[in-house]
Amino acid sequence: MHWTRTIASCAIALSMGALALTAAGQTPPAKPTTSTESAASSEQNWWKNAVIYEIYPRSFQDSNGDGIGDLNGITQRLDYLKTLGVDAIWLSPCYPSPQVDFGYDISDYENIDPQYGTLKDFDHLVAEAGKRHIRILMDMVMNHSSDKHDWFIQSRSSRDSPYRDWYIWRDGKGETATDKGQAPNNWQSDFGHSAWEWDEKTRQYYYHKFYIQQPDVNWDNPKIHQAFKDIVGFWLKRGVGGFRFDAITTLYEDPNLTDEDVLLDKDGKSYLNDYGDVALNDTRTNNLPGTHPVMQEMRAWSDTFNSDKFPGTRVLIGETYLPNIAELAKQYGTPEKPEFQLPMDTQVGFIDKLDIAQFRARLSEVETGVNGNIPLLVFTNHDRPRLDVRYGDGVHDTDIARVISTMLFASRGAALFYYGDEIGMKTTPPTRKEDVKDPVGLTGWPKDKGRDGERTPMQWNDGPEAGFTKAGVTPWLPVPPNYATINVKAEEGQPDSLFAWYQTLIRLKKSVPALSHGDNVMLDTENTKVLSWMRRKDGAASVVVSVNFTAEPQTLSLSVPNSSGKVKTLLKTPGAAEPSSISSIQLGPFGVFVGELQ
């Protein structure tokens, strides 16, 4: 059922209580009224204003005491996620895997790794999540498999294997009967060094965009297309709500194997990357046009599961690191040949500094430059340091997290965030190489310490191991020492906590028509300190949002045509003054104000 609500003085029950919200300056929404939109239409359009929560299964909740998070642990925490307000959970890979890249090296696409549970556990998770109107989204890795997958085992067994052309094999340059020669070209792995690995048995090189143990599959082979359609269908039949497609822009490479260009610094000289290799462009191994027909094919296939038997749109999300808004727009496809419903707009969330001009420009671009499609904003994931490292200043980290989350949830479109963001979990990288688990850190140390720091266990309480696993059990990564104060239990009952802020923002996103589906219109565009915008929807009250990008208090005066300027506060930084008009808004350091025009 789809609901609309209007903001009024009467409160709905939030987990910490309406009184607590009011005390924090967070006006709770009024009792919901039934929308005229049909239930069927709501099911079809659920993703257009969706709140999606990424879970790294190893690190969310350990239910069996082995120190590794699992599917049953996620099921145990579904009520928490329902209270938070999420619509869907994206699970990073939980398929059988040698765990070289912690699941992104898949050895069986149609099963669950025993350390995470069983298919029965997965089905139980899907069913229990469904009872709470939460969808499960799987991670679909189509660029490569594990070298332990049966496809590759067969492929490397012989040049005459029927699976040989399921992967990308090439002769070396200058190869002889006794000398393997050089790699076919200068292409590099994203994780360091050559992207080509010599296989002595069949005396050819195979290509791997990522780790040596992650050989790229050959998308010029029609059998690969059918194999992945079968895999996608396997999970759709189990009731998943869709997929996030990993590294999707890397499916194809230049068939001529042309060398990549060397990158040059500002002085016109080449330089070394974090792995000690000459830095190269990747235009011949990334974002080639062949990806688009593949995603058109996958979209058409997934849409066939959108029926009475499988209610609701299956949403396709793309991991789309792209250079500009025009390239992002292509990822949606066309009305005749649609591709992703929600390609990730990493150009907004991964600016990695509080640069107001860039945020204003890029939020405006995604509002106007994707042909009316729905943006998917994302600031955090399992591959990037958390917000404290990329945006924090060590003093105002919580207030800066409010700024970031306001841009995420109060802008038009769907929103994706990472477990622990809602309580302000911090990046905690290893301090010694011998403690590193992530192969990226093992290869890149000490310049690149890897991704362990953003994958630490979820901090549930101040008890042993933060409630992630049983007392006395060593978790797969250490629990950060700040768990004593940064944890769910400590924040759930506090009206001015970051958790309360996230929960309220999400509720406003769902309940206020202008915040649910209104356009973004930038305001006060010459201001170099405060970013302001309006959410505007025909037939609904407009909402004004202002976020201070500085550590100094700011006063601003806004005006909106055909408006008296009178405003009702929906949300503000705890302790801040409550304005009666947008002509005089007082913002503290990294302060936020969200108000509904009267």
Which pair of structure tokens corresponds to residue 152? 């590759």
Please confirm, yes or no, whether 454 is among the known catalytic residues: no
| Spatial distance between the Cα atoms of 520 and 536, rounded to a whole number of angstroms | 7
AA identity, residue 174: G
- DSSP type of residue 339: -
Please confirm, yes or no, whether 383 is among the known catalytic residues: no
Report helix angle 291-303 to 222-237, nearest 10.
30
Q: What element of type H or E holds 138?
A: strand 135-141
Bridge partners (DSSP) listed for residue 556: 585
From the list 197, 319, 438, 452, the catalytic residue is: 319
Answer whether 57's CB lies under 8 Å from 91's CB. yes
Which pair of structure tokens corresponds to residue 234? 């396997």
Q: What element of type H or E holds 358?
A: helix 356-368
Q: In angstroms, how far is the first alpha carbon of the chain from the final one?
A: 28
Residue 128 burial class via C-beta count within 10 angstroms: exposed 0-12, middle 13-18, buried 19 and up: middle
Nearest Cα residue to 26 out of 597, 595, 598: 595
- DSSP type of residue 93: P
AA identity, residue 277: D
From the list 70, 216, 246, 422, the catalytic residue is: 246
Answer whether 347's CB lies under 8 Å from 325's CB. yes
Q: What are phi and psi of 562, to 5 degrees?
A: 60, 30
Answer whether 426's CB lies under 8 Å from 482's CB. yes
Q: Which residues are catalytic?
A: 246, 319
